[in-house]
Amino acid sequence: MKKYLILCFFLPLAVTAQQKSKPVASSKTAVKENLKPVDGYMIEGTVTGYPDGTVVDLLNGNGGPEMSTSIANGSFRFSGKMEFPDFKLIAFNKSQPYITMLLDNSSVSITATKDALDQAIVKGSKSNDDFIAYNKLTKPFEKLFSAEAGGADSAEIKKAAAALDAFSRKYSQSYIAPLAIYRTHQLTGNGAQLEDLFNRMSDPVKTSPMGNYIAQQVAEVKKNPMGKPLPDFSQEDIDGVPVSLSSFRGKYVLIDFWASWCGPCRQENPNVVNAFQKYKNKNFTVLGISLDKTKQPWLDAIKNDGLTWTQLSDLKGWANAVAQKFQITSIPQNFLVDPSGVVIAKNLRGAALDAKLASLLK
């Protein structure tokens, strides 16, 4: 989560950066045009199972409202113009499930049924065709990106990473590429590979919001590089007692930056808990660094999420002294250091964390 909320890339597997919500258009504004706008998009939808008058919303990737209309004669329509292809959601009666698409400036048709919105047919958008291809590729590997991914087979991780790497290269000129690259890096943690895949993208894709996020990840990889000792630090724990990183020498330590208010952090916490429980008796521990500003929400999150390892914070939010020292600008973020304090992995998520620890702590 960036200071302004990072690209999270989920919903179900994709969400774009949170942006300032645009004014919600009235139903008349949304349906008054009969032709596709020049250089814009037109969405023509047909849906069964909902009565006429049912509210239909076009949402951004984070669920923020952009336009609203209603069903008339079993149909609905949206039109507008986009600077970059982006993920959009269509909601009926302001509730889930949503229809998710990667929308570009095209004439798009949607055919859907109330009881099977996940099977809606979206046609006309080249970007969405690429999104469909991405979903087809990743469907067998969905569990690798979930909080319940602990214990995933290393061979399956390797297979998924190879498939995503190949997809990223094949679709390097597509706006789906940043999502595929993000997932590839999530599995491999390979900074050189991340940069190579980023460099293969076209300039328009690189400068899109999603492409810009990958550029930020490339920059993050170059901070606190692997193979170098992580400088020592000290901060107070929940009881106000100073604790230093060096006091954990002799153990593998996952330094985990998070916060009670960070949704992606809380979603990842079950996976960290699983890893801690599985390897805590094998010379491994976790050291949490919270970017909270208020103590009680921090303590409540620790209790509710079952974070039984050492937790530190100076309750200064993004100005946390340790976060500042290591140039932390997004969370969740983590470093894995070996018993001598050398960084051996960064930003391990889901199955990648379990696989790395399994390879080290046999």
Tokens of 239: 């009881």
3-class SS string, 175-224: CCHHHHHHHHHHHHCCHHHHHHHHHHCCHHHHCCHHHHHHHHHHHHHCCC
pLDDT of residue 266: 94
> Is 241 in the same domain as 213?
no
pLDDT for position 205 = 95
Is 200 within the bounds of a domain? yes
Same domain, 311 and 353: yes
> Given pLDDT bands bounded at 50, 70 and 90, which one contains residue 44?
very high
Both 243 and 172 in one domain: the answer is: no
Do the domain assignments include residue 210?
yes
Q: Say yes or no: 243 and 352 in one domain.
A: yes
The pLDDT score that the predictor gives to residue 37 is 54
Q: pLDDT tens across 145-197, in order?
A: 764 545 567 788 889 999 999 999 999 999 999 999 999 988 887 888 999 99
Are residue 97 and residue 176 in the same domain, yes or no? Answer: no
* Domain edge (last residue) among 124, 150, 179: 124
Residues 238 and 352 in one domain: yes
Alpha-carbon distances of 228 from 118, 132, 220, rounded to whole Å: 46, 41, 15
> What pLDDT score was predicted for residue 18?
24
pLDDT at 122: 95
Say if 12 falls within a structural domain. Answer: no
Q: Is 173 left (phi over 0), alpha (psi -120 to 50) or beta?
A: alpha
Confidence of residue 294 (pLDDT cuts 50, 70, 90): very high
Q: Look at residue 29 and tell me whether its pLDDT is greater than 50.
A: no
pLDDT digits (tens, 9 = 90+) for 49-108: 999 999 999 998 878 899 999 999 999 999 999 999 999 999 999 999 999 999 999 999
**CATH classification at residue 61:** 2.60.40.10
Asked whether residue 71 is domain-assigned, the answer is yes
pTM to 2 decimal places: 0.68
Q: Are residues 263 and 336 in the same domain?
A: yes
Q: Kindly report the CATH number assigned to the domain that includes residue 313.
A: 3.40.30.10
Does residue 338 lie within any of the structural domains?
yes
Same structural domain for residues 195 and 252? no
Element (H, E) at 156: helix 154-170
User: Residue 96 is part of which domain span?
Assistant: 27-124
Separation CA 220–CA 337 (nearest Å): 17
The pair of three-digit structure tokens given for residue 153, joined into one six-digit string: 């087979």
The pLDDT, as a whole number, for residue 151 is: 53
Q: How far, in Å, are 27, 59, 90, 99, 102 from residue 24 at the CA level?
A: 9, 10, 14, 19, 20
Cα–Cα nearest to 212, from 4, 7, 22, 5: 7
Nearest in space to 62 (alpha carbons), one of 98, 11, 28 = 11
Any domain includes 3:
no
Number of domains in the chain: 3
